[in-house]
Homo-oligomer: A and B are copies of this chain.
Amino acid sequence: MAASTPHARVETEPPISRSARKARTRQRLIDAALALIGQGRSYTSLSLREITREAGVVPGAFYRHFRDLDELGLALVEMGGVTLRRLLREARRDGIPPTDMLRGSVLVYKRFVEQRSLVFRFIAAERGGGSRILRNAIRTEDGHFASEMAQDLRVLGVMPDLSSSALRMICGLVVTTMLNAASDILDVPSGQTVQEREMVENFVRQLRVIFIGARHWRED
């Protein structure tokens, strides 16, 4: 029975500011939700008490941070948006893989998804699923992602003959294909299995179809 006063400060020696403390437990709630998703649960079926339990906090404390579960969900969506933006940023930084660019990009993306499996599991699941509010928030986020991608391609001078609206539309298609693939990536047994290779190959070929279609696109 070691001493453990409510506000024990076991390892965080320096006094912690109030706003910092608040931000910390807020983050803990978010992480708790993700952790539960990681254990195979789907966000829609999580309960407030489960989350606070996982976060190591009393149920009532939840309300100091979010009005309800949808609001926590929105925070997760935002985190998803940040993640997608990071993907684009890294792509800009590293440039397009020199050889076999499509397969290269797919493998980079696959790694990216696997390293952030929880966020992608959440997005892939709630994109078509959860509450209407969440779905729309994710749609908006996906839309921004597609627009940014279109802008990047424009800057890179890829497919310069396409109108901006056509480019944007095509990026939308690429994004849905990517997010759909994320779900596949997360479900296929990782390791060099046959299934995994087939999945990657299929993904590559689908993107190739899209890009070929884009190259030959003519406005109405």
Within 8 A of B (CB), among A64-101: none
Partner of A210, one of B45, B128, B184, B210: B210
For A7, what are the chain B residues with a Cβ–Cβ distance below 8 Å?
Answer: none
**A interface majority secondary structure:** helix
- Closest B-chain residue to A47, C-beta based? B45
For A206, what are the chain B residues with a Cβ–Cβ distance below 8 Å?
Answer: 169-170, 172-173
With most chain B CB atoms within 10 A of its CB, the pick from A126, A130, A169, A214 is A169
When the two chains form their complex, are residues B180 and A176 in contact, meaning their CB atoms are under 8 A apart? yes
* Complex alpha-carbon distance, A208 and B170, angstroms: 10
A211 sits at the interface (CB 8 A): yes
A11 sits at the interface (CB 8 A): no
* Complex alpha-carbon distance, A129 and B124, angstroms: 7
* Complex alpha-carbon distance, A211 and B218, angstroms: 13
A44 sits at the interface (CB 8 A): yes
A183 sits at the interface (CB 8 A): yes
- Closest B-chain residue to A124, C-beta based? B128
Known A212-B217, A217-B209; contact A40-B132, beta-carbon cutoff 8 A: yes
Within 8 A of B (CB), among A177-220: 177, 179-180, 183-184, 187, 202, 205-206, 208-217
